[in-house]
Structure formats: structure tokens, C-alpha cells
Amino acid sequence: MPSLKDLKNRIESVKSTRKITKAMQMVAAAKLRRAQEAAEEARPYAERFNAVMAGLAASVGGADSAPKLLSGTGSDQVHLLVVMTAERGLCGGFNANIAKLARSKAEELTAAGKTVKVLTVGKKGRDAIKRDLGDNFVGHVDLTEVKRVGYGDAQGIAKDILGRFDAGEFDVATIFYAKFQNVVTQIPTAQQVIPAAFDSAEDDADGAATLYDYEPSEEEILADLLPRGVATAIFSGLLENGASEQGARMSAMDNATRNAGDMIDRLTIQFNRSRQAVITNELIEIISGAEAL
């Protein structure tokens, strides 16, 4: 049974930890608002961009002149998994859930006889899957020094991926990130970016699809926009990750603060009982000594 001094030290230690988790919760709450606004403001552009690209891709179809980023290499033997996570921890299961989805995808592809290559963005994702997929790593992007993710960072990652694709290092590229829904819900998401995969173009309210005339040809426009589409998808994923990370950290630190409070209450009760037991024993010894006299 711990002594009174040990219990008192533990109580003080947990109180210090509670102060830290409370401070981290408040910092995450402040950062969450900006990150959430950035992610939500980027969604309309990304959705409209994908809708236009879907219309262009549908008009080009399987033409021989279709850009390689749309038609692919004609094979799906080599897959590049771009795992995007945070640079820091203490955010609940945020990083682990993304890594779990990527690991599951890698196992599925390996079982099907495919070759898997992994490019990580964020050291927490790299650390999470290093043991299982360390031999498949082909690169890592470190964003530790980046205070606020910008489009330039996404362009740098996209340039690396496109360079590898042009060099014939892979056939299919998929990015993994967490889509922000609310503070307690972040959805791990896998999105194929090479070859470009788009949902069917949405129809107008009257049910008729909008027709556009493009100058120059659809193929030339796609050849110019598809690399930007890769960067846009990566940038959207990074923004969603930023909001998801802060939401997960805020929730995790709130739970940690509550748990610390509960532990302090339990330790305080244990301390009071132990102190009362010591006092009772001392009284018994005094009374027994007095009676003996």
C-alpha cells in the first residue's frame, strides 16, 4: 500500500498533467476553427473542379488521344500508396486510423499479386506502418517545419508523384487522409488520383446535362488540368487532415482532462482514508498505552 507521501506526490503529478492537457485542448480548439474554415472553403472549389473534369473525361472517353494521367498505363500491377498523416501525436486514433486503412489496402493488393510502394507524408504515418511496410517505402515528405500548409506544399508532393509516374515507377496512385466531419468524427478516406477517377458529372435541376464547347480541344485542356487535379486533391486532403487532426486532438485532450480529474478524485479519497487510518492507529496506541498505565 502506498504511503501518504507517495499518494500526495501522485496527486500533484496528475494535477500537473491535467493542466497540460487542458492547455493543449484550448490550443487545439483555437487552431480547429481556422483549420475547419480552410477545409470547408476548399471543398466547393474541389467539387466544382472535379465536376468539370468529369465532364471533360466523359467527352474524351477511351480515345487514343486521351492523356496518360486519365487513361493510365494500361496496367494496374504497381500501386503507389500516399499515406498522409500528422507530424505530431496526442490526437487520439487520428493517425492510427489512416495507417490502418493504408495497411489494409496494401494487404489486399499484395494478396492479389500486386506490387505496393509507399510514400508517406507526416512522420506519424511513417512510424505507424514502418514495421509492416518498411520494405515498400520509396520516399517521405517532412512537413515538420511547415507552420501552415499551403498550396505550394501540395504542388511539391504532386510534382514528386508525377515525376515518379512519368518515370514508370507505378501504374496507380492512391492518397489516404481523414475527411473532417465534426470534432468527434474523422473519416479515413482513400482517393485514387492516378489514373484520374471522377464521379459522373452532376445533372442540372431540370435533369438535362449542361453542354460546353471547349477551346482548345478537350484532350489539350485535360493534359493541362490533370496535373493540377493531382495537386488539388492532395491539397484538399492536407486541409482535411489539418482540421481532423485538431478536432481529434481537442477531443483526446478533453477526455484526458476528464480522466485526470477522475483520477485525482480517486487518489484524494484514498489519501484521506489512509490518513484517517494512520490517525486512528495513533489514537489506539495512545489509548492502549494510557490504559496500561
- Domain coordinates in residue numbering, the chain: 4-20+254-292, 37-250
The fold adopted by the segment(s) 4-20+254-292 is Helix Hairpins (1.10.287)
pLDDT digits (tens, 9 = 90+) for 114-150: 999 999 998 888 888 988 888 889 888 888 887 788 8
Active-site residue among 82, 91, 129, 222? 91
| Secondary element (H or E) of residue 235 | helix 218-292
Is residue 253 pLDDT above 90, yes or no?
Answer: yes
Sign of CA dihedral 55, 57, 58, 59: positive
Catalytic annotation on 91?
A: yes
Q: Which pTM does this prediction carry? A: 0.82
pLDDT of residue 223: 78
On the question of a common fold for 4-20+254-292 and 37-250, the answer reads no
What average pLDDT does the chain have? 85
| Bridge-based pairing state of the strands 172-182 and 185-194 | antiparallel
pLDDT digits (tens, 9 = 90+) for 50-100: 888 877 777 776 556 677 888 788 888 999 999 999 988 888 889 999 999
Task: Centre a 10 Å sphere on the Cβ of residue 225 and count the other Cβ atoms it contains.
Answer: 18
Sign of CA dihedral 125, 188, 176, 225: negative
- Spatial contact of 144 and 87, defined as CB atoms under 8 Å apart: yes
The fold adopted by the segment(s) 37-250 is Pyruvate Kinase; Chain: A, domain 1 (3.40.1380)
Is residue 43 pLDDT above 80, yes or no?
Answer: yes
